[in-house]
Amino acid sequence: MDFVKALSTDNLTAIKTAPKTDIHSHAFLSTRLENLEHWLGHSLERPPSKMRGLEGMMEYVNAVLSDHIITPDSFKFVASSGIRDAIQDGVVVLEMSFDIRLAEYYPDELIGVQSFLEALVEQYRTQVNLRPELGFPRTHADDPKLMALAHEAIELRLFQSIDLYSYEEACPPEAVKSLYAEARAAGMKLKAHVGEFGDAEEVQRTVEVLDLDEVQHGIAAAESVEVMRWLSENQIQLNVCPTSNVMLGGVSNLASHPIRVLFDYGVPVTINTDDLMIFGQSVSEEYRNLYQAGVFSAEELNDIRYASLTVLS
Ligand SMILES: [Zn+2]
C-alpha cells in the first residue's frame, strides 16, 4: 500500500513501512519510555502532557529520568534501543546527536566514544543509515575543556553533522563560531537549535553567523514573512518536531502548528521525533497526527517525506 493511501485509511502499519528520515533525534532520550522501563524492570512516572518549555521538560527529566539514563550502561541501552525503534518505524536515515559530554563515560574519552559509535553504525548498517551527529550544549560554550574535546571530535571524521542545543539564551551563536568553522572545513553538515521559542530574527541571525545548512525547530520563523522568504530563497531546511512543540508549549495545539505556514512559504521542512522518550511519537505517528489534525493532505505529507529522502541520498 502506498503512503498516501496508508494515511487516508489510517493504516499505521503501512505508514511505518514507507521509508522515512529522522534527522532531529537526541540519543540520550531516543527510545520509548516503555523500553527503558522494561530494561529497568520497573515503571516510571509519565511526562505531563504540557510542560513549561525546556525548563519544564528538564524538571521532569531530572526528577524522573536522570538517575536511569546518565550511566554508561543505560546510555548504551537507550541509544541502541532508540536505533531499533527508528528501524521499526521505517526510518532509513537517522541523524542522531551524541552529546560531547558522552566522552566523560570513557576513561580514554573520545577513543571510547569512537569505538562505541563505529560499532553501532556497523551493527545496524543493513537496516538504517545511521549518521552520528556531534551535539554541543549551549550551556557549556564557556567550558574550555569541553570545547577542546569538541574540536578533537571533529578531527575524528566520525561525525557527519553538528548540532547546538539547550537553552537558547545560554550563549549567542558567536560563542561557537570557531567550532562551526572547523566543522564546515571538515565537510560536516551544520545545524543548530534556534527559534523553538525565540523570535524569527534570531533564526535568520543564527543561520548567518554559523553558516547553517539546517535549523532544528526554527518554527518562530513563521512570525515573519521576511524571514520565511529568506529561508525559502536560501533553501534552509527546518527539522520540525510537532509533538515536542505542543508539549513544551511553543505551539498551543497541533492543528495550529506553524509548519503549515512555513511549508506554504516554500521553506523546506522535515518531520522528526526530537526525544521519543518524552514526546512518545515516532516519525510515522507524527505524520499520522499531522494528517488527522488537518494540517496537511496525505499528498503533501508524502511530498515532505519524499523530499527528506532525496536531500540525503
Ligand atoms: Zn531537539
C-alpha 9 to ligand 1 mean position (Å)? 31
CA distance 162 to 184: 9
> pLDDT grade, residue 70 (50/70/90)?
confident
Catalytic residue among 95, 133, 168, 196: 196
Q: Are strands 189-194 and 161-165 parallel, antiparallel or unpaired?
A: parallel
C-alpha 237 to ligand 1 mean position (Å)? 15
CA distance 284 to 121: 22
pTM here? Answer: 0.97
C-alpha 198 to ligand 1 mean position (Å)? 14
Query: Domain of 176?
Result: 3-312
Counted domains in the chain: 1
* HSE, side-chain direction, 13 A CA sphere, residue 141: 20
CA distance 51 to 215: 22
C-alpha 284 to ligand 1 mean position (Å)? 18
Hey, what's the cell of 55? 525548563
The CATH number that applies at residue 207 is: 3.20.20.140
Distance of alpha carbon 3 from the chain centroid: 23
Share of the chain above pLDDT 70, in %: 99
> pLDDT grade, residue 312 (50/70/90)?
low
- The yes-or-no answer on residue 196 being catalytic is yes
Using DSSP's 3-state secondary structure scheme, residue 95 falls into strand
CB 191 within 8 A of CB 163: yes
